[in-house]
Structure 1
Amino acid sequence: MADRPPERGVAAILRRLVDRSPNSSQVLGFLTLVVSGAILLFFAGLTLTATVLGVIFLTPLAVLTFPLWMPAAAVATVVTVAVVLAGGSGAAVVAAVSWGYKYLRGGHPIGSERLDYARSRIADTAGHVKEYAREYGGFLRGRIKDAAPSA
Structure 2
Amino acid sequence: MAQNQPPQPASRHLVKTATAVTLSGTLMTLSGLTLAATVIGLVVATPVLLIFSPVLVPAVLTLFLLFAGFLASGGLGATAAFVLYWTYRFLTGKRPMEQLDRIRGRIAGAATEAKDRAQEHLKAGRQGSP
TM-score (norm 1): 0.42
**Structure whose residues are more often helix by fraction:** 2
TM-score (norm 2): 0.47
